[in-house]
């Protein structure tokens, strides 16, 4: 697993170019004496418009990075899939100068969506990483807790042993299983059944879609939709609110009480 991940990480190449606004520049870049990448930038100072063009290769996944100082680089939140012609990307910038770096990978499997694919194997898709500001070509685990840092950042997890969705699986186990540490149901809701709805007592039961067994700690959202009542977690009115989330017990049941406001 680790070796496969490392192989994937090595599978990208970078080409560099830069632009001072108000100029037009074309670069031809040779990498390792064999790869060649032509990148050109057109800028129109009057409109702050920039056009980045490059000669693309079919099915190659391109990432664009920008920098103002050649030290800090950030990705634009997009991935372009190569064709057999020139690719273009137009955008506005009022920066005094801007540097570009084109990063690309030929490791995209046939028919895979480059946005959905996960180049570095940290179980966060390429586009999710770009939108979150993490690196789609790095799966480092600096705190050594067995979970890549980008996965922790994406899900807002700081403790590998935490179970923030109360499904009984730790963050580490959720990562290993490829499930979400913040979604109890992991995208597959259980069956919700109304058990009681009388004398101001409302009880729902949640059972597994797989085998019908009661689901423990499943979140049930209750909302008072008719005026004149609030919801509470006890007949005496504890945690009174118009909307309440109650976790199920071992019998899969969650109960709220309708109380006077």
Given the rule CB under 5 A, which residues bind Ca ion? 118, 120, 122, 124, 129, 138, 150, 163, 165, 167, 169, 181
| Closest to Ca ion by CB, 13 or 138 | 138
The token duo for 248 is 């199920």
Provide, rounded to whole angstroms, the least separation between the CB of residue 229 and Ca ion. Answer: 33
Q: Which residues contact 136 (CB under 8 A, 6 or more apart)?
A: 63, 75, 118, 119, 120, 126, 129, 130
Q: 62: alpha, beta or left, given left = phi > 0 and alpha = psi -120 to 50?
A: beta
Which residues is 24 bridged to in the sheet?
Answer: 42
Of the pair 152, 165, the CB lying nearest Ca ion is at 165
CB of 141 to Ca ion, least distance (A): 11
Q: 93 and 20 in contact (C-beta within 8 Å)?
A: no
Of 54 and 75, nearer to Ca ion (C-beta) is 75
First to last CA, the chain: 57
Specify the residue, 80 or 257, whose C-beta has the smaller distance to Ca ion.
80
Residue with smaller CB distance to Ca ion, 38 or 163: 163
**Min CB(221)–Ca ion separation in Å:** 18
Residue number, nearest CB to Ca ion: 150
Q: What's the min distance (Å) between Cβ of 118 and Ca ion?
A: 4
Supply 151's token pair.
């996965």
- Mapping DSSP to helix (H, G, I), strand (E, B) and coil, where does residue 109 land? coil
Give min distance, CB of 163 to Ca ion, in A.
4
3-state secondary structure of 214: strand
């Amino acid at each position: 697993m680790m070796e496969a991940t490392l192989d994937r990480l090595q599978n990208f190449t970078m080409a560099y170019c830069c632009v001072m606004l108000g100029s037009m520049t074309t670069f031809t870049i040779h990498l390792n004496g064999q790869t060649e990448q032509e990148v050109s930038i057109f800028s129109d100072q009057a409109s702050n418009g920039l056009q980045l063009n490059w000669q693309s290769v079919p099915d190659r996944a391109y990432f664009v990075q920008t920098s103002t100082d050649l030290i800090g680089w950030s990705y634009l939140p997009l991935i372009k899939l190569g064709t057999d012609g020139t690719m273009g990307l137009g955008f506005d910038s009022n920066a005094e100068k801007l540097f570009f770096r084109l990063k690309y990978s030929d490791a995209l499997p046939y028919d895979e969506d480059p946005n959905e694919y996960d180049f570095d194997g940290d179980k966060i898709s390429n586009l999710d990483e770009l939108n979150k500001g993490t690196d789609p070509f790095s799966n480092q685990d600096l705190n050594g807790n067995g979970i890549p840092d980008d996965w922790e950042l994406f899900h807002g997890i700081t403790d590998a042993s935490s179970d923030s969705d109360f499904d009984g699986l730790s963050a580490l186990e959720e990562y290993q299983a490829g499930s979400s540490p913040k979604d109890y149901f992991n995208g597959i809701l259980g069956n919700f059944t109304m058990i009681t709805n009388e004398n101001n007592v409302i009880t729902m039961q949640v059972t597994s879609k797989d085998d019908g067994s009661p689901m423990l700690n499943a979140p049930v959202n209750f909302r008072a939709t008719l005026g004149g009542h609030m919801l509470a977690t006890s007949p005496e009115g504890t945690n009174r609110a118009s909307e309440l989330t109650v976790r199920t017990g071992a019998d899969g049941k969650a109960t709220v009480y309708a109380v006077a406001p």
